[in-house]
Structure 1
Amino acid sequence: MNDHNPRYSNDLAGRASLCRDVIRSAGALVLSGFKESSERGFSLKGPQDFLTETDAASEAHIRQAITTHFPGDAFLGEEGGGSIGDRVWVVDPVDGTANFARGIPHFCISITYVEGGRAEIGAIYNPAQDELYFCRRGAGATLNGKPISISSTVTFDAASVEMGWSRRVPDETYLQTMRLMLAKGANVRRGASGALALAYVADGRSDAYVELHMNSWDCLAGLLLVAEAGGVVCPFLEIGSLRDGGPVLASTPAIADGVSEASGIPILAHERTAALQPA
């Protein structure tokens, strides 16, 4: 990518083009690291919180591309932190690092562009499966360029709900939410990548996703994807923040109220283009 690439005009269209390009190029870097299994290793940032060298390399690659083409934009990454401005890119360079480190091909890169307090562009890419989820506010959601939509599930006894978990929330609170979800009849599972879990709600592979605390870089792109795919989401930037994170809920509409009741997480009215926070 060069400094004067005409694809990267200084507007949302240009940023969308950069987002697509850089998430794929970062994906190639991440996939290369994943395939080098004989040399792969991991360390722990905290209990059950894996850090690989690939995380840092992926984030540096994305940061450099954004700085080169949009030097006035802020950058907030999981590994290196950053600043928050009116225009900010929020990046998780590898979500699902525990899977990555253990040779499980269920991980992704997540990039969100936020302007004026609203997520405008979202992308989630699993390079191991070559699946790129992408959306712009008001333009719908796609998987590898084809439109996607949430599931048509209407009852809990047919629902598959994924739940995320972390040490930031007491075990008993998490278990109580799971008990309530199971009592409603849902199948509850965990795939260990919150960003992909949200993408799977957007394309109907799951019916809902709940995490009682999630960082912004893990969830912003996925929440916008779900909203653009016709789903219901929580007002993340009202009940949480870019810096500190917050609770996350995304659901197909028919069971959203029940998921909200079980988790205690509020939801927005069902409007495709009203995701996350008003202007």
Structure 2
Amino acid sequence: MIDLYARLQAAITLVEKGGDIARRYFSEREQLTTTYKGLMDFASDADTTVERFVRDEIDTHFPGEAVVGEELGGELCAHAWVVDPIDGTGNFLRGSPLWGVAVAYIADTIPVIGAIRYPALDMTVAAGAGLGFFLNGVQIERKVPFPDVRIAAIGTNPMWATTQSAALEAELKRRRWSVTGYRCATIGMGFAALGHVDGYFEDYTNLWDVAAGMVLCREAGLIVDADYTTRRRGVRIAVGTEPLMRVAGPLWSKLSGECCDGHAYMSKSEANP
């Protein structure tokens, strides 16, 4: 039997130690060597150093377990650790504080542990299936003090057609939702879990970008609509409050060409083992 609490604590430690390493690189980022991976997709020495550290720590404490990471790869299986050493590398390189270090654990193909460290914001958010949602080690409930201020976040990446993301943004604005973007899925989903925005949408992203955030949002009480097991390429993710998903859902389904309910649609109760 998997000890989820022990893995949650391990994930928190991993992102906080990894975040310390990333923060040191962030303060000296002008000296970093970068690698161009694709259109608007970069990696740096910081990314690979953080991922190697996290992998070594996992191998020490959970020897032999599978690890999949953005920079060093790996084969995804039913039970695995998923690592994004620095999500939002573009923001990181330009000096924005909106980037994060993310670690998730997947059991039976479902993310059940997630932790994200925002080093430049001095903030750690974490959650485990059935264990609740934590901010800097303290369990919290999602609160929205001004619910009439309606904000949705939309992600972006080169694989997602601009026409589709623009159509979603236009529809949300037509329905009186403000729209923002962070160029970082871990920020968008973490901020949704915290109540800073009402939800987050992105298509053709990667599992390491969103696995930890899926757990956070689910444990915070948001609807999580994710397709990552049936698609040939890319992860499709939508998280949000019921009012937001009710407004965005029809168009989101139309853009995908298929019904959201047919995917890995998870509520908090459904995902708890």
Query: Deviation string for 1:198-223 (max 9, x for gaps)?
Result: 01100100011111222100011111
Match for residue 248 of structure 1?
Answer: 237
Identity of aligned residues (%): 27
Which residue identity lines up with residue 178 of structure 2 in the other structure?
Answer: N
- CA distance in structure 1 between the aligned counterparts of 2:33 and 2:94, rounded to whole angstroms: 9
Given the superposition, is the C-alpha separation of residues 121 and 255 from structure 1 closer, same or farther in structure 2, using an over 3 Å criterion?
A: same
Match for residue 200 of structure 1?
Answer: 191
- CA distance in structure 1 between the aligned counterparts of 2:227 and 2:129, rounded to whole angstroms: 16
In the TM superposition, what is the alpha-carbon distance from 1:54 to its structure 2 partner?
0.4
RMSD of equivalent CA atoms: 2.3
CA contact (8 A) 2:129 2:219 kept: yes
Alignment of 1:70-89 (within 5 A): 70-89=62-81
Alignment of 1:51-62 (within 5 A): 51-62=43-54
CA contact (8 A) 2:83 2:103 kept: yes
Alignment of 1:1-279 (within 5 A): 11-146=3-138, 147-149=140-142, 151=144, 158-240=149-231, 244-264=233-253, 266=260, 271-275=267-271
Which residue identity lines up with residue 204 of structure 2 in the other structure?
Answer: H
> 191-200 or 254-263: which moved more?
254-263
Given the superposition, is the C-alpha separation of residues 234 and 152 from structure 1 closer, same or farther in structure 2, using an over 3 Å criterion?
A: farther
Given the superposition, is the C-alpha separation of residues 145 and 240 from structure 1 closer, same or farther in structure 2, using an over 3 Å criterion?
A: farther
Query: Deviation string for 1:210-261 (max 9, x for gaps)?
Result: 11222100011111111100111104345548xx432110101222121222
Given the superposition, is the C-alpha separation of residues 150 and 213 from structure 1 closer, same or farther in structure 2, using an over 3 Å criterion?
A: farther
Query: Deviation string for 1:30-60 (max 9, x for gaps)?
Result: 0000001442453421111121110000110
In the TM superposition, what is the alpha-carbon distance from 1:10 to its structure 2 partner?
7.2
How many residues get paired? Answer: 265
Match for residue 6 of structure 1?
Answer: none
- CA distance in structure 2 between the aligned counterparts of 1:246 and 1:150, rounded to whole angstroms: 28
- CA distance in structure 2 between the aligned counterparts of 1:48 and 1:197, rounded to whole angstroms: 18
- CA distance in structure 1 between the aligned counterparts of 2:144 and 2:251, rounded to whole angstroms: 20
Given the superposition, is the C-alpha separation of residues 269 and 212 from structure 1 closer, same or farther in structure 2, using an over 3 Å criterion?
A: closer
CA contact (8 A) 2:14 2:103 kept: no
Q: Which runs of 5+ in 2 are unaligned?
A: none
Identify the structure with the greater helix proportion: 2
CA contact (8 A) 2:32 2:46 kept: no
Query: Structure 2-normalised TM-score?
Result: 0.89
Query: Structure 1-normalised TM-score?
Result: 0.87
- CA distance in structure 2 between the aligned counterparts of 1:28 and 1:58, rounded to whole angstroms: 9
- CA distance in structure 2 between the aligned counterparts of 1:212 and 1:10, rounded to whole angstroms: 31
Query: Deviation string for 1:143-202 (max 9, x for gaps)?
Result: 1123131547766xx311110111112221221121112111111111111111101100
In the TM superposition, what is the alpha-carbon distance from 1:81 to its structure 2 partner?
0.8
